[in-house]
Amino acid sequence: MSALHPSVQEFKAFVKQHPGLIEEVNQNRNSWQDIYEMWVLLGEDDEKWKNYKSGSLRGGQKQAKSEEDESQTKQNQLASQFMQIIEKVDLNKVQGHMHQLNGAINNIQTLIGQFQEYKKQSSVKQPSFHKGPWSKD
């Protein structure tokens, strides 16, 4: 039987001190890989781990659940407000405005085309300067 890598042994000891992490994985909120990577990046002393210690586990869970509920409530409120706005939109008016906008764009494209054509014609018909009787050549 091979011995575990020292960092894995340290991580196991860390998890024993933070039993809330086990519940975090069991409830599929995080994977062991994710927690291990956070542990490696943040270190053992990061504030994040306080919510998972045995003494503050319940309070941390309640706080996390409360924050999660608050976030979900805000998302629901935003979705509800969005739906209320959508319900008030008169699609016939929107279609009319789109038709007017399309007409305006077509007019602008026509003007640009006419301007480009005028520019081409005026560059071809530019007067050439001939030498007159007063030139020195």
**pLDDT tens by residue, 31-45:** 999 999 889 988 888
Say which residues have a Cβ less than 8 Å from residue 7's Cβ, sequence separation at least 6.
Answer: 40
Q: Higher pLDDT residue, 58 or 32? A: 32
Report pLDDT for 56. 47
* 8 Å CB contact between 25 and 35: yes
Q: How would DSSP label each residue in the chain?
A: -PPPPHHHHHHHHHHHH-THHHHHHHTTSS-HHHHHHHHHHH-TT-GGGGGGSTTTHHHHHHHHHHHHHHHHHHHHHHHHHHHHHHHH--HHHHHHHHHHHHHHHHHHHHHHHHHHHHHHHHHHTPPP----TTS--
Report pLDDT for 121. 87
* 8 Å CB contact between 11 and 39: yes
pLDDT tens per residue across span 81-136: 888 887 788 888 888 889 999 999 999 999 999 999 988 888 776 555 655 566 56
pLDDT greater than 60 at residue 55: no
pLDDT greater than 60 at residue 21: yes
Report pLDDT for 65. 63
pLDDT greater than 60 at residue 30: yes
Report pLDDT for 131. 59
**Residue 59 in tokens:** 């309070």
Confidence of residue 6 (pLDDT cuts 50, 70, 90): confident
**Residue 94 in tokens:** 């929107």
